[in-house]
Amino acid sequence: NGFKCHCMSESHQRQLLLASENPQQFMDYFSEEFRNDFLELLRRRFGTKRVHNNIVYNEYISHREHIHMNATQWETLTDFTKWLGREGLCKVDETPKGWYIQYIDRDPETIRRQQEQERKKKQDLDDEEKTAKFIEQQVRRGLEGKELEMPVYTELNRENEEEKVTFNLNKGASTSIAASSKTSSVLGQNALKMVEGAVKRKESAHSSSQPKEKKKKSALDEIMELEEEKKRTARRDYWLQPEIIVKIVTKKLGEKYHKKKAVVKEVIDKYTAVVKVIDSGDKLKLDQTHLETVIPAPGKKVMVLNGGYRGNEGILESINEKRFSVTITIDSGPLKGRRVEDIPYEDVSKLT
C-alpha cells in the first residue's frame, strides 16, 4: 500500500507539472469534454424540451466520471448557459426561477423527418379542404335540383245559385263536385279530370323523388368514403409503440449499436422509448428520431403505428418497393379481415 501511494503521489505530481507547463491546453480539453458530455446528456435525456439548467447539471454531476465545471473555462453554470445561447447550441431564456435551456437538434436525419412531417400535415390540410369543397358542391347541387311544386288553385264557379256543392274526401285527396239535376254530367266530368290530374301529379312527384333519393344516397356514400379516407390518412408526429421491433440508426452511440435491432419495452412521453438490443440485451433510452421501423417478410405480424388504423395488428401481405409501401390484412379488433393497401414503410413495424 505504501508503494502504491508513493507511485500515485509521483503520478499526481507529474500531472501537475505537465498542467503547469501548458495550462491552457488542459483547460481547453476539459472544457470541450464538459461541453460534449453535457450536451449529449441534454439531448439524450430531455431531447428538445425546455428544462431548467440546474436539473440537467445535477443529473450530469451525479456520474462520478464526468468533469466538473471548476475544471473548465466557465466559472458558473449561468456563464455556461449564456455561452450555449451565444453559440447557437441551445435556446436559453431567463425567468424569475432561473435559466432554462432547450436543445437545438441539427441532426440531418431529424431535419429530414421534420420536413416530411410538415409535408404530410400540409397534405392532410389539403385533403380536408377538398372534402369541405366536395360537401359544399353536393349540397348546392341538391338545392339546385330540388323542384318545389306549388299547389294549383282553381276557382269554384256555380252557374246556378240553387246548385248544391258537395265535397268528397278520399285518401287525403280533396275534390270538389258540384251536382245538380241539370249539369250533373258536366260537373262529374270536371271532377273526374281534377282527380286524374291530382293522381298524375302525385305519381310524377313520387317518380321524381325516387332518383333524388338515390342521388342523395350515392352522395352520402361518397362523403362517407371520403371521411373514412380522411380518417385513414390522419397522422401524428409520434409513432412509438411497445413490443415492436425497431432499428437503431444513430451513430452517436458508436458502431456497437448502429444498425442493430431492438425491442421497444417502454414508451416515455410519446417520443422516447426504452429499448432492449436483441443481440447484446443492453437497454438504451433513445428518442424516436434515432430509431426506424422494421419491415418483416410477408406473412409476419406487424402493427400499424400511424394513420387512421393506428394500433391495429395485422399480417403483412405484400411489399411494394416502388411505392415504398405495404399491404396488410387486419387480424384483430372490429376491423378484422379488412385489407389495407399503400401503407408507408414508416407507419408499420414488425411485432415481437
Which residues, in sequence order, are CB contacts of 169 under 8 Å at separation 6+? Answer: none
Please count the structural domains in the chain: 3
Which residues, in sequence order, are CB contacts of 167 under 8 Å at separation 6+? Answer: 174, 175, 176, 177
Q: Which domain holds residue 41?
A: 1-103
pLDDT score, position 276:
94
The Cα–Cα gap between 175 and 197 comes to 11
Cα 289 to Cα 248, 257, 268, 350, distances in angstroms:
9, 15, 14, 18
Please indicate, yes or no, whether residues 343 and 253 belong to a single structural domain of this protein.
no
pLDDT score, position 197:
59
Sign of CA dihedral 303, 307, 312, 317: negative
Please indicate, yes or no, whether residues 313 and 274 belong to a single structural domain of this protein.
no
Please indicate, yes or no, whether residues 290 and 342 belong to a single structural domain of this protein.
no
| pLDDT < 50 stretches in the chain | 1-9, 11-12, 16, 18-19, 171-187, 195, 209, 211-216
Please indicate, yes or no, whether residues 98 and 59 belong to a single structural domain of this protein.
yes
C-alpha closest to that of 243 among 299, 297, 313, 338: 313
Q: For position 302, which CATH number holds?
A: 2.30.30.30
In a domain, 252, yes or no: yes
Please indicate, yes or no, whether residues 246 and 308 belong to a single structural domain of this protein.
no
In a domain, 315, yes or no: yes
Kindly report the backbone phi and psi dihedral angles of residue 24, in degrees, each rounded to the nearest multiple of 5, phi listed first.
-65, -35
Q: What angle separates helix 184-233 from helix 108-145, to the nearest 10 degrees?
A: 180
Task: Name the percent of the chain lying above pLDDT 90.
Answer: 26
In a domain, 31, yes or no: yes
pTM of the model: 0.38
Please indicate, yes or no, whether residues 88 and 13 belong to a single structural domain of this protein.
yes
Q: Which one of 42, 71, 103 terminates a domain?
A: 103
In a domain, 201, yes or no: no
pLDDT score, position 156:
65
pLDDT single digits (tens) 215-237: 446 676 777 676 666 666 678 88
In a domain, 249, yes or no: yes
Question: Which cell numbers in the block locate residue 315?
Answer: 399480417
Kindly report the backbone phi and psi dihedral angles of residue 106, in degrees, each rounded to the nearest multiple of 5, phi listed first.
-110, 20
Question: Which cell numbers in the block locate residue 75?
Answer: 466559472
Q: For position 45, which CATH number holds?
A: 1.10.10.2030
The Cα–Cα gap between 132 and 125 comes to 11
Q: For position 272, which CATH number holds?
A: 2.30.30.140
pLDDT score, position 227:
65
CB 273 within 8 A of CB 267: yes
**Element (DSSP H or E) covering residue 316:** strand 313-320
pLDDT score, position 174:
44
Q: Which one of 64, 85, 103 terminates a domain?
A: 103
- Cell 353536393, residue? 138
pLDDT score, position 213:
45
In a domain, 75, yes or no: yes
CB 306 within 8 A of CB 296: no
Give 3-state DSSP helix, strand, coil % of the chain, rounded to 5: 45, 25, 30
Question: Which cell numbers in the block locate residue 168?
Answer: 268528397
In a domain, 173, yes or no: no
Q: Which one of 103, 118, 137 terminates a domain?
A: 103
Please indicate, yes or no, whether residues 11 and 96 belong to a single structural domain of this protein.
yes
Which residues, in sequence order, are CB contacts of 6 under 8 Å at separation 6+? Answer: none
